[in-house]
Structure 1
Amino acid sequence: MADYQGITRTVCIGIGGTGEKVLTQIKKIIVDRYGSLDSLPVVSFVQIDTDDAITSKGGNSYRGKDISFRETELVKAVVSKTEAEAISNGIQEVYDDKDLKTLKPQSHIARWFPPQLVKNISAIEKGAQARRPIGRLAFTKNYEKFQQTIDAAVRRTDGHAEYLLSSEQKLKLDPGINFFIVASLCGGTGSGMFLDVAYAIRGLYSPNQVNPNIRLSGYLVISPQIYGDTPRQYANCYAALKELDYYSSEHTTFEICYTQNDNRGIVREPRPPFDFPYLISKDIADTGSTISTREKLFNITAQKITLEFSDELSPRVKSMRDNFPDYMQQWDTHPRSNCQQYMTFGLVSIHFPKERISAITQFEVGCKLTAFWLNGIGQSPDSQALVDQFLVNYNWHPNLAKKDGFVSSLENITVEGGKTFKKIIESNKAELKKSVDDCKTDSDRQALASKLNTQLNAKFRKVIHSDTEAERGEWITKLQKARLNIENQYNQNIKDFISELLNPSNFKFSIRNTRIWLEAMQTELNNYRSAIEPVSYLL
């Protein structure tokens, strides 16, 4: 399986607004690379927030694919007003029981919740309002919901080994599960519950024979400047880092009871919260440069996480990361020695703005295509030459010098006895001449004159003009019908020639050349109309 790329089952967990933005960006990257989220079923998502409007956050679609958070991916860590009052009263009962002889419903919360905030506990439905204990309280109250959502997320990543092998991406499933936790340490939600989320996963998923490699990575943003730069954000960040440092040190144990009804809600964990804790700042070390916006920082973080499980560089990244624990366990030489356990990262990549380049390319192609249709390849044939070519191709005038094709067409119409207008007139003329030549006496001439009067009246009745066909002469009726047929044929000839000129394979192709020809043809037809106006009047 040398051609197959390894991939590990992965659960991405976002906490608060920062987690939601980064997870949404990860989803977009998956859609870009694999076409849809369903094409990479070994990656699942869980989003935790203390904002009840969590379902309306983020974009719903990307490149025509749904990337919104499904209900099964959401943990709404909210506390209603009624629940908040019960918690406040319950903690106060614990405080009032000085002997602590009776286990109260809120005893597990009273152990750590700050006494000065007990009376101020209110509904948690619009975020933690930058208060760390409120964020932790929301998680504790909704621990069972978190447990169920995480279990479902892990199950969704299982059972896809055969599908990955048969997929176009040629992916091979590696053993283990990767958990990625993304949060900001500046707000109340992220800084309040990031440790609890990490240790809850430690308690729920420990290495075993089925999944010997369970790795937990934390991506923690520590730049208050990009969130408003307020004193409380600095305080939150400082306090969260102090706790992270404490529990990452030796001889410490994280202990908490999330629910008194289930042993899985009791956590006693001596290990650090994260195998790989990444501290993310807007400042770029040793350069003086900064990442100017939150969106850029979130995008970089999403790119780094995606490198862990969905990139050609993933094996290399994993190999390098596996060498870090030896260095992370070493202690520095500071008088109060510290473990070298924190990490950060940098990314260098060539950004290919696909949408922008696609739009520019479409615009350039459109401009060139429009110019080609308008002007062809720059050829500019003489307008009269185009007219003459048309007249010859469609045989409008047998003789271009005379240009009498329309009149000739009318003259050659068969009107009676298989004879044309012209032949009948010439025949009548010849017969009349012969009759005149045969007249020898005055009586012959008088008889001829009487006969001619009758014959001419009959002939002229055939060319009588009238608005109705019943009164109109039969020859005029035939001429008018023939004229309409000839006009229809000429119109079709013009349309056919336009189609030829607008065929890109035609050397003289262009809208400009077609219009030049039409204008020249209009002049040609007007001149021709003037020349045959007397004939048209007679018809």
Structure 2
Amino acid sequence: MFTTDAAENNHLTVMPVICVGLGGTGRDVLVRIRQNIIEEFGSLAELPIISFVQIDTDRGGPIPSYRGQSIEFTPAEEVHIRVSLNEVNEFKQNYERRKKNTYVQNPDDHILEWFPDQLIRNLSAIEQGAGAVRAVGRFALFKNYNQVVTALNLAHGRVAGANTSALIARGIEVMPGLRVFVAGSLCGGTGSGMFLDIGYILRRLFAATVPNFETYGYFVVSPDLYGGNDVVKANCYAALKELDYYTRKGTIFDAQYPGERRLEESRSPYDYTYLMSNATPGGTFIIPPTDANAKGKITNTIAQKICLFLSSSATAAAAISARDNLRAIDATEEYDRHPRPNRQRYMTTGLASIYFPQDKINLLAGNQIKIQVLQFWKNGLGQAPSNSQMQQFYTSQFDWGTDDLGQLLKQRLEKVPVQGGTVSSNLEGWRNSQYSQIGAAQSRGQQDMLKTQFPQNAMALLNYVRPADNSKERGVWLTPIVEQTSDVTNDIKARSVER
């Protein structure tokens, strides 16, 4: 996304981006990124160099609109990797054929070579999630491989061919290349089952043909946020073991995807991997699992981290600096000094920024106004402009210091006709009307109705008596006075000279 070019004095540049969500956690991250884009740019269309691909075994529910705009995924952005009951039964039949004769070519050989035998019997249609089983999530990916590859290629096509004239007009330089951010959880079945494959599929699709290609993985490793049972703990542990294995030098990731030549890759699945947790290594909870919105907070952290590249060149530079430091450490000291040496290729992140929650502040400000209006009525009508206040306002404009001139101006202004009366009589009539309504409100329902009606009446009164320099904004009761002020002033001055 946005980067900092020090040679250009913090010149703002942008690189095409694909955000990939795996499972429900990835979906939540992508939704929050889309919300942040609307906050920063006004609409998703204003940032055409970012595209989305949501991959899930569960279709998920509708996504509420945000600030009046739809943020639902389009059909091209969403891949529901479902497997029908017929496909599952056919897979079971192919499994039985393979057991009888392993030398006969089987259309599901590329899956059966790794799918656990003990899961075959109870395998059923995959429509609403992977049931927290990693192998089932990977199975669904293999069965929908072509749809996933098509969605990723289309996503790249959208950003590569995007009309960037609006960004250039803002002074933002569009750089060649592609960054892919993959987000999900390693605790469930969908994300944990396919996150390695997605990383290697992305390498196969773009690494050889797209310049400056980089992949970033953001994965939640907090089983407590997903029930904390043995299954999700085992999923997370197994996923981390596999990630660590394929990140080590000398290992080969080997997979046969349908319709493709066999993939053998010695590189790590992602260039940069962030492991996200709700607790410190010492066991201190930053986000307690008892927090009802714990998962929402950690997915928001991931989304905000990704969006830092969109909101500030300085923070993007800091993130890139941390990334480059990791690369330098890995180049000079490949393994740490643990008794069982580990690759130093993982990072984590948190948020330390001031966030302006506009919607909450608007709500708070609205409530404060309501309180002030109620306080206004509780304390009476002393805030309405009185005759003496009006006199002081207008006499101060002409720096008249004598009581006689001020009194004369007051008398003259009080007689200026305004909508069938004078300002003083109109204010008095308005005041009496309000007290009449208060006196007539006997029941609780009528009194509650006044709480709603009185703020509206106060706003209406403000339209009559609002001071302003121009007639468009000035209250209509004050306009005749202002229009006659010059003539009245000249007349008073002339009479003063005569005296």
With the shorter chain as reference, the TM-score category is: 0.7 to 0.9
Once residues 510 and 79 of structure 1 are traced to their aligned partners in structure 2, the CA distance between those partners, rounded to angstroms, is 75
Match of 2:31 among 11, 24, 27: 24
- Tell me the distance in 2 between the aligned counterparts of 1:111 and 1:309: 43
Is residue 244–residue 343 contact of structure 2 (8 Å, CA) maintained in 1?
no
- In the alignment, which of 162, 165, 170 is matched to residue 163 of structure 1? 165
325, 331, 338: which one aligns with 2:335: 331
Letter in 1 for 2:185: S
- Paired with 2:143 and 2:425, the residues of 1 have a C-alpha distance of 77
Secondary structure at 1:71's aligned position in 2? Answer: coil
**In structure 2, what residue type is equivalent to 1:187?**
G
**1:76 paired to 2:80:** yes
Match of 1:9 in 2: 16
Match of 2:295 in 1: 294
Judged with a 3 Å threshold, the aligned counterparts in structure 2 of structure 1 residues 89 and 510 are, in CA distance, closer, same or farther, namely farther
Q: Name the counterpart of 1:435.
A: none
- Please tell me whether Structure 1 or Structure 2 has the larger radius of gyration of its CA atoms: 1
Counterpart contact for 1:94–1:106, Cα < 8 Å = no
Give the whole-Å Cα distance in 2 for the aligned partners of 1:515 and 1:130. 65
Partners of 1:284 and 1:291 within 8 A in 2: no
Shift of 1:203: 1.1
1:271 aligns with 2:267: yes
Preserved contact between residue 202 and residue 269 of structure 1 (Cα < 8 Å):
no
Secondary structure in 1 aligned to 2:175?
A: strand
Amino acid across the alignment from 1:301:
I
Distance 1:279 1:509 in 2: 69
> 1:88 Cα shift?
1.3
Shift of 1:307: 1.5
Out of 50, 72, 91, the position equivalent to 2:57 is: 50
- What is the aligned counterpart of 2:66 among 59, 62, 65? 62
Note the alpha carbon deviations across 1:256-294, whole angstroms, 9 max, x for none: 1110x344xx32211000111111111145693421311
How many corresponding residue pairs? 399
State the 1:512 CA deviation.
2.8
Q: Per-residue deviation at 1:244?
A: 0.6
Within 5 A, what are the aligned runs for 1:96-107?
A: 96-98=100-102, 100=103, 102-107=104-109
Letter in 2 for 1:236: N
Specify the SS of the correspondent of 1:268. strand
Give runs of aligned pairs for residues 190-201 of structure 1, distance below 5 A: 190-201=191-202
- The one-letter amino acid paired with 2:143 is K
Q: Which runs of 5+ in 2 are unaligned?
A: 1-7, 289-293, 389-410, 438-499
1:69-89 deviation line (CA, Å, top 9, x unaligned): 111001111100000001111
CA distance in structure 2 between the aligned counterparts of 1:517 and 1:161, rounded to whole angstroms: 64
Identity %: 37
Deviation at 1:377, TM superposition (A): 2.9
Structure-to-structure mapping, 1:81-100, within 5 angstroms: 81-98=85-102, 100=103
TM-score by length of structure 1 reads: 0.68
SS in 1 for 2:21: strand
State the shift of 1:163 in Å: 1.5
Matches within 5 A, 1:424-463: none
- The one of 119, 124, 127 aligned to 1:122: 124
- 1:234-267 deviation per Cα after TM superposition (whole angstroms, max 9, x unaligned): 01011111111111111111111110x344xx32
Residue 218 of structure 2 aligns to a residue whose secondary structure is strand
How far the C-alpha of 1:296 sits from its partner, in A, is 0.8
CA apart distance, 1:327: 1.3
**Offset at residue 8 of structure 1 (A):** 1.3
Pick closer, same or farther for the CA change 1:276–1:515 going to 2, 3 Å: closer
Instruction: Find the partner of 1:351 among 343, 346, 355.
Output: 355
Once the two structures are superposed, what CA deviation does each residue of 1:487-517 show, in whole Å capped at 9, x if it has no partner? xxxxxx8953377766xxxxx6894377689
